[in-house]
Amino acid sequence: MDTRADLSPAMHQRHCWECMRRRLVCDFERPTCNKCRSAGVACPGYDEKKPLRWLAPGKVTSRARKRRFPPGTDCSSTVSSEGTANTEYAPQTSVGSELLRIPNPGRELKSETCTMVEAVWYFNDYVYPDFCAMHELAPNPYLGQFPLDALHQMPISICHTLVYLALGHRIHRVYPGDHGRSLARLRPSLYQHRGLALRSLTELMGNLSNQMTIDLAIGSILLFLIVDARQLPSVDWQHHFAAAMELIKLRGGLASLAHSSEYLKPLILHLLILGVMANTTTPPSQHISPTSQLELIDIMTELYGDGIYPILLCPPYLLMDVIKINNLRFQTTYSPMTETTRATAHEILEHIEAFSPEDWTGTNPDAREDWLLLGRMYKSSVALYCISSLQSLSILPSSKCYTAMRTVHGTRLYTLLPKVIRRPRIKHFTIWPLVVAGMQAVDTSFNVRRIVDEQLSELSKIMGCPTPMLASVVSHRFWTSGQTGWDECFDKAYVFVT
């Protein structure tokens, strides 16, 4: 017997949506139920689909089970629905909040586009201001804010790289111990965007159909290389460097590309500086060959100009000596040492000693003291690099004369570094001199080592990156190793330019 006809009609009716939310038994009155009327709330009715309501930010009053969304899905809608999270007490959000503020654990991820806009906003408001004081030294054509209206024209790999940079800077600006749980949420996002940037680069490399796509690939790889070398203490940057050089060959070589592509010039110069300075702290057998060749001096002289590039304020006079030292170390690894080799080493050292910091000053008289400090700091750093690295290969002898020169330049460097790191316009440019000071400190007291260590720690916070802390780890390992040679300190490829 069919019993369905005996059931009460009310049992077939749908509870109103408000009673369902409050888990009450609805009385099914129409147009509004008595339960809602008694509670003083608007009855949402009995429709098959839940009606949507527009809510003010921070006033979400319902909670539904959280759903997982695939990467890149925009789940930041302000419409209350079954997928709305409970953010009743969450602060109102604004552009830049994901990177500027510590994330609220109850917040959902935004769309990729929003995150990329926030990264640009963060860079312009929190990274660029740290460097803009450089304009007081001299107008810097390489230093400026990132134009937000250009973001939509950038390859997706560059967009993810910008997020990677901004997140890394944000993470390392938070002092150790603060907001540990929030940082644990940021780090996976950093690695996610790094992975997405690499995936996009792979796709870009698979579509090198013309000059424009090759240039886009070169620019994307160079920017990723620069950020990756800054963020991660690994040798992956060497692979990115090699890939970029192969693409540059397709465009006729370094000089040809620099002359034909104005917008790639800053990235090409950054690439060359990174290669030159990385070779100083890398065993000669692992050098990046193109940046240890004397032919590099001509193009570096042209691109580096007056030496005001934002990652390295080294006098051009001394930077060319660094290239010559690198070349001497590289050639000695593959060729027998001769008297000509030793004579060349003496000439380079004499050239360094002849440098006058007083002759390398900008046109702004108010910044003269900063220029002098930079010139003196780099003169002592390059002299120490020349003596120590060439002694490590027995090109220069370990005589009393050279020991005395190292002592003089080391003492001078320890005196200059605290002064430089207190100057807002030049404090970011002590990383490589501090690395040299760390190596030289193997022959000094515990107090000197402690000062170098403290300055590296402070510089890591100033720069918002882990590179100075890596230098500290390398120095500590060297100090306790019982070794004293340059190539024993830097026994694998390191890059200390950010």
Our count of domains for the chain comes to 2
36 lies in which domain range?
A: 13-47
* Residue 63 forms part of a structural domain: no
Of the candidates 116, 108, 144, the residue with the CA atom closest to the CA atom of residue 129? 144
d(CA 209, CA 7): 72
Co-location of 267 and 397 in the same domain: yes
Co-location of 160 and 37 in the same domain: no
pLDDT of residue 235: 64
Co-location of 304 and 413 in the same domain: yes
Co-location of 268 and 163 in the same domain: yes
Co-location of 40 and 121 in the same domain: no
Co-location of 25 and 162 in the same domain: no
* 307, 315 contact by CB (below 8 A): yes
* Residue 93 forms part of a structural domain: no
Co-location of 221 and 322 in the same domain: yes
pLDDT of residue 16: 85
d(CA 431, CA 448): 16
Query: HEC string of the chain?
Result: CCCHHHCCHHHHCCCCHHHHHHCCCCCCCCCCCHHHHHHCCCCCCCCCCCCCEECCCCCCCCCCCCCCCCCCCCCCCCEECCCCCCCCCCCCCCCCHHHHCCCCCCCCCCCHHHHHHHHHHHHHHHHHHHHHHHHHCCCCCCCCCCCHHHHHHCCHHHHHHHHHHHHHHHHHHCCCCCCHHHHHHHHHHHHHHHHHHHHHHHHHHCCCCCHHHHHHHHHHHHHHHHHHHHHCCCCHHHHHHHHHHHHHHHCCCHHHHHHHCHHHHHHHHHHHHHHHHHHHCCCHHHCCHHHHCCCHHHHHHHHHCCCCECCECCCHHHHHHHHHHHHHHHHHHHCCCCHHHHHHHHHHHHHHHCCCHHHCCCCCHHHHHHHHHHHHHHHHHHHHHHHHHHHHCCCCCCCHHHHHHHHHHHHHHHHHHHHHHCCCCCHHHCHHHHHHHHHHHHHCCHHHHHHHHHHHHHHHHHHCCCHHHHHHHHHHHHHCCCCCCHHHHCCCCCCCCC
* Residue 84 forms part of a structural domain: no
Co-location of 171 and 309 in the same domain: yes
* Residue 55 forms part of a structural domain: no
* Residue 102 forms part of a structural domain: no
Angle at CA of residue 392, ends 387 and 396, nearest 5°: 50
* Residue 143 forms part of a structural domain: yes
d(CA 173, CA 462): 7
Tens of pLDDT along the chain (498 residues)?
Answer: 443 444 344 444 678 888 888 777 888 888 788 888 887 788 888 877 777 665 554 554 544 444 444 444 444 433 333 333 333 333 333 334 444 443 444 444 457 888 899 899 989 988 888 888 888 887 777 888 888 888 888 889 999 999 999 998 888 876 554 555 666 778 888 889 999 999 999 888 888 888 888 888 999 999 998 888 888 766 677 888 888 898 898 888 888 888 888 888 888 999 999 999 999 999 999 999 888 899 999 999 888 887 777 678 899 999 999 999 999 999 998 888 889 999 999 999 999 999 999 988 766 788 889 999 999 999 999 999 999 999 999 999 988 999 999 999 999 999 999 999 888 888 888 999 999 999 999 988 888 899 999 999 888 888 888 889 899 999 999 999 999 999 999 988 888 987
* Residue 494 forms part of a structural domain: no
Co-location of 43 and 153 in the same domain: no
* Residue 495 forms part of a structural domain: no
* 36, 70 contact by CB (below 8 A): no
Instruction: Indicate which CATH number applies to the domain containing 35.
Output: 4.10.240
pLDDT of residue 282: 92
Cα distances (Å, whole numbers) of residue 422 to 184, 350, 417, 429: 32, 31, 9, 11
Co-location of 41 and 160 in the same domain: no
Neighbour-count burial of 64, counting CB atoms closer than 10 A to its CB (0-12 exposed, 13-18 middle, 19+ buried): middle
Co-location of 149 and 40 in the same domain: no
Co-location of 28 and 119 in the same domain: no
